[in-house]
């Protein structure tokens, strides 16, 4: 028994040492070079029509990079395209919004664009499709794939930005990077590594991803697993931790919209991130719980708030009252 306990203690100490080394490695490594390398250069574009109505034409756009990266994105383009001027340049160009949606929406975030006109909307898919549920062992087995997919969201959005810059109907001086819920924490890291966005917007997001994930695990699995999961997530996701990058967003304006009763993103996490940002910055509080695409009333309220704030920044025209 003593030999067994000594062996077990040795294994635990070895695992602890590996965890410390992993934490040091992930905390110190600079991924900016990897993001640019994985982004590569836009090498091919495929557009597949997916319907539309009187306001928008919807399509699925597949982008391929020289690095081998493949990005699938949903896209909405206004149906009433403006006339074309000299040299084939549209008489008017539209602002564009890149939407990083919740974990279950991805490219389908374009389907929840309510009360929006005369804006091009692009929503990249996530490189990893989550299961409906996981066992503890399945979570551990999937950690490498999940982490790689999260890291690859940065070059994926950068490649999508490259594509928007090739389109003659996009006003490249008015591109908004918008992340909501699961997609919000990516925004500071992307903007810090790609300075082409006119506005960085985060809807119902916050900082300190370790505590955010731990908080949400604890809601369903209890505080013990919440603490372990949050600690592990904080190490693995440190390369994209928004607190690392939010101070570098400036002078690009940062707009945050958060819910006062958000059960998934506690108010202290939102305030912590906002405090770490430099001017220009603005946070707007809406009396609500966490955003959900099926909550149409809240979605409309968020969109109305976004349009008002972006109009004040001269990104979109002010809506008529």
Instruction: Indicate whether 241 and 137 sit together in one domain.
Output: yes
Q: Total structural domains in the chain?
A: 2
Residue 319 within any structural domain of the chain = no
Q: Measuring CA to CA, which residue among 217, 281, 274 is closest to residue 243?
A: 274
Instruction: Indicate whether 150 and 260 sit together in one domain.
Output: yes
Query: Is the pLDDT at 92 greater than 80, yes or no?
Result: no
Residues 28-62 pLDDT 10s: 578 899 999 999 999 999 999 998 888 899 999 99
Instruction: Indicate whether 78 and 212 sit together in one domain.
Output: yes
pLDDT at 81: 55
Instruction: Indicate whether 21 and 149 sit together in one domain.
Output: no
Residues 6 or more apart in contact with residue 173 via CB below 8 angstroms: 198
Instruction: Indicate whether 100 and 145 sit together in one domain.
Output: yes
pLDDT at 53: 84
- Report, in angstroms and rounded to the nearest whole number, the Rg of the chain calculated over CA atoms: 21
Instruction: Indicate whether 13 and 38 sit together in one domain.
Output: no
pTM: 0.85
Residue with tokens 């939102």: 270
Residue 320 within any structural domain of the chain = no
The whole-angstrom separation of Cα 175 and Cα 121 is: 10
Residue 58 within any structural domain of the chain = yes
Residue 317 within any structural domain of the chain = no
Query: Is the pLDDT at 135 greater than 80, yes or no?
Result: no
pLDDT at 317: 82
Residue 318 within any structural domain of the chain = no
The whole-angstrom separation of Cα 299 and Cα 224 is: 34
Instruction: Indicate whether 4 and 120 sit together in one domain.
Output: no
Instruction: Indicate whether 25 and 169 sit together in one domain.
Output: no
Query: Is the pLDDT at 85 greater than 60, yes or no?
Result: no
Once rounded to an integer, what is the mean pLDDT over residues 244-270? 97
Query: Is the pLDDT at 188 greater than 80, yes or no?
Result: yes
Instruction: Indicate whether 71 and 184 sit together in one domain.
Output: yes
Instruction: Indicate whether 135 and 241 sit together in one domain.
Output: yes
The whole-angstrom separation of Cα 196 and Cα 160 is: 12
Residue 7 within any structural domain of the chain = yes
- Show the domain range for 220: 31-82+91-312
The whole-angstrom separation of Cα 7 and Cα 14 is: 11
Instruction: Indicate whether 113 and 126 sit together in one domain.
Output: yes
Residue 191 within any structural domain of the chain = yes
Higher pLDDT: 145 or 264? It is: 264
Q: How confident is the model at residue 155 (pLDDT cuts 50, 70, 90)?
A: very high
Helices in 93-222 by DSSP H: which ranges?
Answer: 136-166, 186-193, 209-221
Q: What is the CATH number of the domain that holds 246?
A: 3.40.50.1820
Backbone CA torsion sign across 222, 209, 181, 285: positive
pLDDT at 80: 67
**Element holding 226 (H helix, E strand):** helix 223-236
Percent of the chain residues past pLDDT 70, beyond the cut: 82
Residue 101 within any structural domain of the chain = yes
Token pair recorded at residue 236: 């693995």
Instruction: Indicate whether 25 and 99 sit together in one domain.
Output: no
Roughly how many angstroms between the first and final C-alpha of the chain, as a whole number? 78
pLDDT at 214: 92
């Amino acid at each position: 028994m003593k030999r067994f306990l000594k062996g077990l203690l040795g294994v635990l100490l070895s695992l602890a040492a590996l965890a410390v080394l992993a934490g040091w490695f992930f905390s110190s490594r600079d991924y900016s070079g990897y993001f640019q390398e994985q982004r590569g250069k836009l090498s091919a574009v495929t557009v597949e029509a997916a319907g539309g109505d009187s306001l928008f034409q919807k399509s699925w756009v597949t982008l391929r990079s020289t690095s081998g990266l493949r990005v699938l994105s949903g896209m909405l383009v206004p149906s009433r395209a403006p006339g074309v001027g000299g040299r084939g340049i549209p008489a008017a160009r539209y602002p564009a919004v890149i939407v990083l949606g919740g974990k279950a929406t991805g490219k389908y975030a374009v389907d929840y664009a309510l009360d929006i006109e005369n804006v091009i909307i692009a929503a990249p898919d996530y490189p990893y499709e989550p299961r409906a549920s996981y066992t503890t062992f399945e979570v551990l087995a999937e950690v490498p794939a999940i982490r790689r997919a999260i890291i690859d969201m940065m070059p994926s959005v950068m490649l999508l930005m490259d594509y928007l810059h090739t389109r003659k109907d996009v006003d490249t001086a008015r591109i908004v990077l918008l992340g909501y819920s699961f997609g919000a924490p990516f925004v500071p890291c992307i903007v810090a590594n790609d300075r082409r966005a006119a506005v960085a917007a985060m809807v119902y997001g916050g900082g300190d991803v370790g505590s955010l994930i731990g908080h949400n695990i604890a809601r369903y699995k209890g505080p013990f697993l919440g603490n372990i999961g949050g600690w592990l997530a904080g190490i693995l996701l440190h390369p994209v931790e928004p607190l690392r990058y939010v101070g570098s967003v400036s002078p690009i304006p940062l707009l945050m919209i958060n819910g006062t009763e958000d059960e998934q993103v506690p108010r202290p996490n939102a305030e912590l991130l906002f405090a770490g940002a430099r001017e220009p910055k603005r946070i707007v509080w809406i009396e609500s719980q966490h955003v959900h695409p099926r909550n149409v009333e809240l979605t409309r309220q968020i969109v109305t708030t976004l349009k008002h704030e972006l109009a004040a920044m001269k990104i979109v025209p002010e809506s008529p009252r």
